[in-house]
Amino acid sequence: MVAVVLAGCSMGPNPAVKTPPVDQLPVLSTLPDPFIMQNGSHVKTVSDWQRRRDELKILFAYYEYGHMPPAPGNVTAKIQSEKVSESGAIQRHVILTMGPQESIAVNVGIVIPPGTGPFPVIIRNDYGIFRIPQELLQRGYMLVDYNRHDFDPDKDGVAGPAQSAYPDYDWATLAVWAWGGMRVIDYLTTLDYVDKDKLIFTGHSRGGKAALLAGAMDERIALTVPNGSGCGGAGCFRLQGQTCETLEKITDPKRFGYWFVPRFREFADRENLLPFDQHLLRALVAPRGLLSTDSVDDLWANPYGTQQSYLAAQPVFEWLGVPENQGIWFRRGPHDQNEEDWQALVDFADMLFFGKAPQQERRFDQLAFEPDQSLVQNPFKKPSARGKK
């Protein structure tokens, strides 16, 4: 089956999308069907799916993450330092400025492999720069990480530079970090040694949550890799494993409620009122690449729920003709983005971009937990392939 390519979606006002108060939302005891529009109609064509995607973006922005401002259009780079290794790799520290009165400045670390490119790029949102293992240069990937704290310092009650620059937007911290990554991409796409069709966006834990949000919202990202992202990331709210973080726990005002818009807290212990679940955020990435990487031992990050959201999003990838473009990978060990995770990321990217078999004979469809039977039986009625156009 030929993969379907989707164009960009407008995020302007859409009065057809209803965002009632939380108490007025219907109870959905099962995972929301990705192919059922808010008005009850069924997706039948790619055009329908575009409208469904727009609808979901509006719902996620209103109820969970907040609304992001548009691209500022004035991202400017200034090289702070540069050095060349014995292998010929270039390490460059860049500061990007942007926004009203260029009031936002972010530190970006760039490591360019030897050669002329264009290179596929791994972008990581982090709390520092030059933190991606440089061994990945040997696989031919350019490495870019940015300090997300330069956009928002990850503190409750503090408006960071990005929120201060755009006070009319209700975006919370995760949305700020994701938006920041999009601005780094604005810069990268101006460089002739960057392969603009092979951009990978990743992050760990809270950075994994931001990475999945960025991948859902920015179609320039060819592969999204949330690592250990759990609650508010790739993990399912309605289907939870043992001792995992829940919506109630993560939105506790004493913890990380500021990562989300305040109304998201209203769903605490009432997840069945959510008009979505995180499988629909995964579905927004389709037909582009998506790989979630997790540890089966990292129970707080809900690896069981991540598996279930993977299964529930897979019908969308299948309908769009790219079942292999979504993957899941588990390991043993602590809450971290370690060497095994990085190798899995590059193996999946090599397979997606270049058709190469994974170096370690990894499988990216292997389940680690007993699947929810409702997902095995696939309750979602996929549209007929004949009606895609």
Tokens of 120: 């596929």
Q: How far apart are CA 147 and CA 130, in angstroms?
A: 10
The DSSP code sequence of 101-159 is GG-EEEEEEEEE-SSS--EEEEEEEESSSS-S-GGGGGGT-EEEEEEGGGT--S-TT--
Residue 217, exposed/middle/buried by CB under 10 A (0-12, 13-18, 19+)?
Answer: buried
pLDDT of 382: 85
Tell me what percent of the residues of the chain surpass a pLDDT of 70: 94
Q: For residue 4, is pLDDT > 80?
A: no
Q: Minimal CA–CA distance to 60: which of 212, 326, 277, 238?
A: 277
- For residues 113 and 374, the model is more confident at 113
Coil, helix or strand at residue 66: coil
- What pLDDT was estimated at residue 10? 38
Check whether 137 has a pLDDT greater than 70. yes
Average pLDDT value for residue range 124-140: 97
Whether residue 9 is contained in a domain is answered as: no
**16 lies in a domain?**
no
Q: Cα 182 from chain centroid? A: 11
| Structural domain boundaries, residue 275 | 22-387
Any domain includes 313:
yes
Residue 356 maps to a domain: yes
pLDDT tens sequence across 262-300: 999 999 999 999 999 999 999 999 999 999 999 999 999
Q: Is 293 helix (H, G, I), strand (E, B) or coil?
A: strand
Rounded to two decimals, what is the model's pTM? 0.95
Q: How far apart are alpha carbons 168 and 344 in whole angstroms? A: 40
Domain presence at residue 290: yes
Q: Is residue 7 assigned to a domain?
A: no
Q: Which residues pair with 111 in a beta bridge?
A: 91, 143
Per the structure, how many domains does the chain have?
Answer: 1
Domain at 219, CATH number = 3.40.50.1820
Please give the Cα distance from 374 to 19 (Å, whole number).
Answer: 28
- 68 inside domain: yes
pLDDT the model gives residue 377? 66
Query: In this predicted model, what pLDDT tens digit does every residue of 166-214 receive, in sequence order?
Result: 999 999 999 999 999 999 999 999 999 999 999 999 999 999 999 999 9
In a domain, 5, yes or no: no
pLDDT above 80 (res 83):
yes
Q: What was the pLDDT predicted at 16? A: 76
